[in-house]
Structure 1
Amino acid sequence: MAEGRIRTVTARPNAESLIKPGELVDLVEVTPLTLNDRRIYNQLLENAWDAIDKPVTHLIPKSALRGSHNSNDRVGESLERLMSAIVKVAVIWDGEPAIERVQLLGGNLESGRADGMLEYEIPARLRKIIGNSQVFARLQREVMFALSSKYALTLYEMVQKRGNLRWKASEKFTLDSLRGIMGVPKGKLTSWSNLKLRAIDPAVAEVKALSDFMVEIAPIKTGRAVTHVELRWWRKDGDATGAADRALQFSKVGRRVRAEGRTEELSVPGVGSLRARPAWLESRGAALQTATYETARLRHPGYDIYFIEGEWRSWAAGKEPATDPDRAFLAFFRSYAEKNPL
């Protein structure tokens, strides 16, 4: 959360939380990043914090970046995306607003050992931005790792940056700027209804459930079209804060069920019970085996399996029917998830 006009580099992380400069919260990604990329980057910033504005290299064990998976492959992929990512940061230049384009991560050296180290650099222009920063977000580690999408993590960071502002409890954004800050890929979720359904509503539900703040994103129309939104936030009372603490103890799917106000039983460990197949899919083809849908949910948590089925059936229309539709669907799902990471 923003904590007064002190230099951001003087704020200290602790066992429960880490610091992120405000300029790196409301940035626009030219190259969209995944949820895992964003988590890893926050960890790299924290690890370098004591000398974040100095022209030095930093060391971190690769194991600290792996999270719950055992492979270093995903860490390497995230590092490469972070190195190639260009972001636009709002800054002041000669007393006037300006846009600075910077890379998030500089050169790095990765040990070939699974238990080895990673040496990395923060780019010079980014060090200058961080050194001049006076606003920051304090992120709770437990919440950062509990949130299940990049949209939820970004919204959480936006609220944490603004949460302690006594003179402000809302902020307006153009729809395009919100898309940019949330990292919505170009050409995706182009309509307000899709953006709200697929990105905004799930993110708001999770942040409300897990953070110390209540959150709303309200549409603002110009004529008949939604052109702006208003982000609103306010601190929870004691009962709601306790509910957020309890929510962090639930499994990921259990948290999502509760965040959405649902109470159905979980039929598969770690995965929500399978809801009824939507009626609109009935005209697209016969349902697949129940085990196929369950497998898809286990392999790709967070995705709407029926939406992906619709995408698969649209892609397959006019092609030779698959010999094994269930296997073909799972193969398509894997490819779709790789191209459209959450």
Structure 2
Amino acid sequence: MTESPAQLPLDLKSGPKPTGDIWKPSAARPATVPVPLPVVMVRVEGPFTALDRKLWLLLLHNAWDELDSDKPYHEISVAELVRLFRKFGRTDLGTRGKISLGKAEEETDAAALWQSMRRLVKTTVEWEDEDYEGISALVSEALFSKRYRETGKIYYAFGRGLSKQILAPRAFARLRCHVVLALRSKYAVTLYEILEAYVNRRENGFTISLDEFRSWLKVSDDASSYEDWKYLKRRVIEPAVNEINERAEEAGFFVAYEGLREGKSFAKIKFTLTKTAARDERDEVLQGKARRARAFDAKKSADARGDYLPNDLVLEQVRDIAPGWDRQALVARFNEWGRDKPPPRNPHSAFIGWVKRFTKGKAAA
């Protein structure tokens, strides 16, 4: 079982945000949206097709600034969606066709998009962490009546529970919307989203069991023949990897893979990720800005509350004591733990001692 990339729990004000413009593809400023790992790692039940994944990302990017508002519905132009999908090879989404409305069927323009919206309302994601357990629909509501469809817009809503998880994710992948739109196969779309969850980790890859890989990509739903490594490699892994690598400059990384044997049979698959030079440079800039912003916010808040702030030497020690743990998350927990206690004589030693006790025998979180 692989561990999910650990990140600091973020409040709504300092959480990750989308970048770019979904309507204007740009290499210099790509349109990205941070998506919580339970959505990426396919803790999802329902008819979640490649088209649905693509549409959901666009809906999320479009609605982001309103997720924490009281606005009952977000809205997005059907014509603009059709034009955007056409840029990436989907020419069928604007055609007229039938959609199911209760027990009846009705003809409408852009029927494929409306059918995708129906599937999104029926698709759920499961959340389970120390603060929250629940199941949310990927889209809690969409208005399908004729008078709304005739406006030329889709009116939709995300539930409050889902919005909270999106705005303050425990861990997330920053997905590039136009890369997802450009990928053709459902396996390539899902694999790209999973790889984005790992590309910014210190390690340059990860290894998972074939059973878990099949589960993530929903391969087991398609054909029992994919139980055989030869067919899985030929029909699922290789085409998906090749398709992602064709878009490597846009995605910002290349991916390689190899099957690993246990005994005579293949049991695991190892993925190795290599960032492009442009992605590496861009991420260094963004990470530097993020570190400076976090440090400034942390110092301002800590000064106001009298919280403990470690120096660089202490943080380096914590890296060795608790490898894989988010150090800023540990600082926040330590301050919360010591909120009602007398201040220690030596705060640095007290913090290091607390980290040793708190992380002993526990996996990184």
TM-score if structure 1 supplies the norm length?
0.60
1:74-153 alignment to 2 at 5 Å?
74-89=112-127, 91-93=128-130, 100-110=134-144, 112=146, 113=149, 116-153=152-189
Contact 1:62–1:115 at 8 Å: present in 2 too?
Answer: no
Partner amino acid, structure 2, of 1:171: F
What is the deviation of 1:145?
2.0
Distance 1:6 1:168 in 2: 21
1:280-295 alignment to 2 at 5 Å?
none
**Local SS of the residue matching 1:181:** helix
What is the deviation of 1:120?
0.9
CA RMSD of aligned residues (A): 3.1
Match of 2:274 in 1: 234
What is the deviation of 1:70?
1.9
Q: Percent identity, please.
A: 26
Structure 1 unaligned runs (5+)?
A: 242-342
Structure 1 or 2, whichever has the larger Rg, is: 2
What is the deviation of 1:185?
5.0
Structure 2 unaligned runs (5+)?
A: 22-29, 87-92, 96-109, 282-365
Runs of at least 4 residues off by over 4 Å = 2-6
What does the per-residue CA deviation read over 1:284-318, in whole Å, with 9 as the maximum and x for residues that have no partner?
A: xxxxxxxxxxxxxxxxxxxxxxxxxxxxxxxxxxx
Q: Does 1:39 align with 2:54?
A: yes
Contact 2:255–2:271 at 8 Å: present in 1 too?
Answer: yes
1:215-294 alignment to 2 at 5 Å?
215-237=255-277
What is the deviation of 1:74?
0.5
**Local SS of the residue matching 1:93:** coil
What does the per-residue CA deviation read over 1:9-40, in whole Å, with 9 as the maximum and x for residues that have no partner?
A: 44232133121323221223332422211110
Distance 1:177 1:216 in 2: 18
Contact 1:22–1:161 at 8 Å: present in 2 too?
Answer: no
Distance 1:182 1:164 in 2: 21
Match of 2:42 in 1: 27
Distance 2:277 2:252 in 1: 9
Q: Does 1:175 align with 2:214?
A: no
Match of 1:14 among 17, 20, 23: 20
What is the deviation of 1:4?
6.9
What is the deviation of 1:203?
0.9
What does the per-residue CA deviation read over 1:64-98, in whole Å, with 9 as the maximum and x for residues that have no partner?
A: 33322322110111111111123345x4226xxx9
Distance 2:150 2:69 in 1: 29
